[in-house]
Chains A and B, each alone.
Chain A
Amino acid sequence: MSAVTRDWRAWAFVAPALLWTLAFFVVPFLVMGAMSFATLDGRSLVWGVHFENYIELATRAYLWRAVLVSLEITLTVTVVSVVLAYPLAAIIAFRVPPRWQRLVLLLAILPFWTSYVVRSYAWLLVLAREGLVNQTLLQIGLIAEPITLANTRFATVTGFVHFFVMLLTLTIYANLVQLSPNYRRAAMDLGASGWQTFRFVTLPLTLPGIATGAFLTFVLCIGDYITPQILGGNTELTMPQVIMVQLGRRADFPLASAIAIVMMGIVTLVYLASARWLRLDRV
């Protein structure tokens, strides 16, 4: 087979993925970028290079508060999810017999099978004043009257964590099972304790899995509209909610695009900060 033929075959092989990326990521991204520099004249879109949207964003206090709230929620969710997912993934990888691991993973991702919106409303009912958590706490005498759990940041974080622990468990598990047991055996042979083996051998080697899962959690969480809306009761304004308000009545796509570009900028910064450890092939 000639080199030219091989090249053509290679291009033909990757062409669908390239075209897909071009059509559904590159082109929309360019349109969104261009849109963020457009303005609205009444109902008409005026294309061009106008900085009004970005200037407006810089002077709006609510937007900066929304950025801050989004970052606080996203970082909390990411940290809590990693802390919960790592032991779960480790137990599945190291303690569960290999023949049961698939079943256990299947059970771990079972909640993925239900609708995201339905799951959020289910959490709302669980956390409500008359919900399961409050009723249980009342019955065992830990509280005298129902406490407010729904429509709070706690509810938003709970809903997110429930979802992202599953995602992180998968990425960390994929990393852990690729790790040769010889590393841990060697560390033990050299006198390392269980904690030292984990701290200096297992954890550093699984950082790519953690970083990959954490990055995906960050990206999906910061752009999510549904959970803060349903579980948070819209009591704190996040960036996706600000975008939705721009679109709902006035259809201000230029301003909404500018906010989306700011959000993408934040994600890019996080990517650059974590790129050293990111191994997307581990997903």
Chain B
Amino acid sequence: MTRPTLALALGTTSLAALASGAASAQELNALVWCDHTDDALIQPFEDAHGVTVNLREYEGTGAALAVLEQSRPGDWDVLVIDGIDVFRAVESGLLAPLPADELPTGDFFPEIVMAENNTLDGVTYAVTEKFGYNTISYNSEAVDPADMQDLATVWSEKYAGRISIYDYYLPVMGLAAIAEGVATADIDGAALKTITPVLSQMRASAASVAGVVAAQTALATGEVDIVVGGGEWLTAVLAEEQPELTWTIPDQGAVRWTQSIGVLADSAQPDLALEFVKYIVSPEGQARLATSACFWGMPANAAAGEILTDEQKAVLRWNEQEEYLARTQLYPAPDTDLDIEMQDLWLDTLSQ
């Protein structure tokens, strides 16, 4: 055999070996929020099914939809998405129907099942997996906890320069609306005029407008004492080292966030993708997701309470959930036109 022929033969054999290896090691591709990238969450599923789960993190539904539109059909199997945006993915034909009877929604906190968000024309396309609150996080040693019960006081002159605003307009505008007695579901063009001065006041008192990491850093380093729009997802991971960093739901109420999970319509492995969804909403998956290294949040499935430790449940404030769920509202889910108006108002506020 000549040298080129030998090289060709070796190359072909290697490629064949690689191809067969790739075929035998099944892979699942999921487009997720950062809390799913915790090995403690993913490893048990990989071990149980002998597969590799490839995770890609994203921020913002727009970014996720752009990734999906630029991908080839079959590139992605699972999507984690903001609960209020499930309908956008369904309208775009991105999500596949889920077998509702195989999902343990009967064990869920009833307010979190959210069939109106996850179901269209009687067909279930996604299932809620986690929830929490966009409310007020603060340093209990630096501010008067009683002040944190009134939203107007939080962003008043008293705390000017000591607050950071979470950099996402929907929950922050939701909080501003709640402060003015407007239900988040009732936000419209007229309501935006009502909350404009509130946002201006908030902005004038803010030292920064920060994303998750920056807000956590600002609170942990003492750069600010309050994060408007914060919650358990911001301070729970710091609870052990800095127990003085805490959160509350003010008397007027607060905003509730949820995230859902679904299988993509173009998934090349819908059965495996469904198994992944089932694992995530199982008590074990839920307990691991709730205490993920990236951020903590309440599991949608109440049965996870049997697996979480007492300490973990204390940090998550498990026993207060009934009251919190009653006092909070889902954050605004605007249609396209209102969304543009809200975004313009947000940019106007930021540029002040």
* Contact A151 B223, CB 8 Å, known A249-B62, A253-B66: yes
Whether the Cβ atoms of B351 and A237 lie closer than 8 Å is yes
* Contact A250 B62, CB 8 Å, known A62-B347, A151-B208, A234-B210: yes
Q: Which residues of A contact B60 (CB under 8 A)?
A: 247-249
> Please, how many angstroms separate the alpha-carbon atoms of A249 and B173 in the complex?
15
Interface centre among B170, B208, B222, B348 (most CB of A within 10 A): B208
* Contact A247 B66, CB 8 Å, known A43-B92, A60-B344, A235-B209: yes
Render A57-88 as a binary contact track against B, CB cut-off 8 A, 1 for contact: 00011100110010000000000000000000
Give the contacts of A205-264 with B (CB-CB under 8 A).
229-230, 233-237, 241-242, 245-253
Q: Which residues of B contact A237 (CB under 8 A)?
A: 347, 350-351
B214 at the A/B interface (Cβ < 8 Å)?
Answer: yes
B315 at the A/B interface (Cβ < 8 Å)?
Answer: no
Whether the Cβ atoms of B221 and A128 lie closer than 8 Å is yes
The interface of chain A, by Cβ under 8 A from chain B, is 42-43, 60-62, 65-66, 69, 121, 124-125, 128-131, 148, 150-151, 229-230, 233-237, 241-242, 245-253
A-B pairs, top 5 by smallest CB distance, nearest first, are A233-B208, A251-B62, A248-B60, A234-B209, A151-B208
Interface segment among B42-50, B296-304, B335-343: the answer is: B335-343
What size tier do the contact residues of chain B reach?
35 or more
Render B118-148 as a binary contact track against A, CB cut-off 8 A, 1 for contact: 0000000000000000000000000000000
> Please, how many angstroms separate the alpha-carbon atoms of A125 and B223 in the complex?
9
Residue of chain B at shortest CB distance from A60? B344
Task: Please pick, from B91, B167, B351, the residue contacting A62 in the complex, using a CB distance under 8 A.
Answer: B351
* Contact A128 B222, CB 8 Å, known A62-B347, A233-B214: yes
Residue of chain B at shortest CB distance from A250? B62
B156 at the A/B interface (Cβ < 8 Å)?
Answer: no
Q: Which residues of B contact A42 (CB under 8 A)?
A: 91, 336
Q: Which residues of A contact B88 (CB under 8 A)?
A: 43
> Please, how many angstroms separate the alpha-carbon atoms of A236 and B348 in the complex?
11
Whether the Cβ atoms of A233 and B210 lie closer than 8 Å is yes
B65 at the A/B interface (Cβ < 8 Å)?
Answer: yes
Q: Which residues of B contact A249 (CB under 8 A)?
A: 60-62, 170, 339, 343
The B interface, classified by DSSP as helix, strand, loop or mixed, is helix
Give the contacts of B190-236 with A (CB-CB under 8 A).
206-211, 214, 217-218, 221-223
- B258 CB, nearest partner CB in chain A, Å: 16
Give the contacts of B312-352 with A (CB-CB under 8 A).
336, 339-340, 343-344, 346-348, 350-351
> Please, how many angstroms separate the alpha-carbon atoms of A250 and B64 in the complex?
10
Q: Which residues of B contact A234 (CB under 8 A)?
A: 167, 208-210, 350
> Please, how many angstroms separate the alpha-carbon atoms of A128 and B346 in the complex?
26
Residue of chain A at shortest CB distance from B167? A234
* Contact A248 B350, CB 8 Å, known A130-B221, A234-B209: no
Interface centre among A121, A233, A252 (most CB of B within 10 A): A233
Residue of chain B at shortest CB distance from A117? B213
Q: Which residues of B contact A60 (CB under 8 A)?
A: 344, 347
> Please, how many angstroms separate the alpha-carbon atoms of A245 and B349 in the complex?
13
Residue of chain B at shortest CB distance from A251? B62
B63 at the A/B interface (Cβ < 8 Å)?
Answer: yes
Q: Which residues of B contact A128 (CB under 8 A)?
A: 221-223
Task: Please pick, from B63, B221, B340, the residue contacting A251 in the complex, using a CB distance under 8 A.
Answer: B63
> Please, how many angstroms separate the alpha-carbon atoms of A65 and B347 in the complex?
10
Whether the Cβ atoms of B350 and A62 lie closer than 8 Å is yes
Whether the Cβ atoms of A245 and B66 lie closer than 8 Å is no
> Please, how many angstroms separate the alpha-carbon atoms of A247 and B60 in the complex?
8
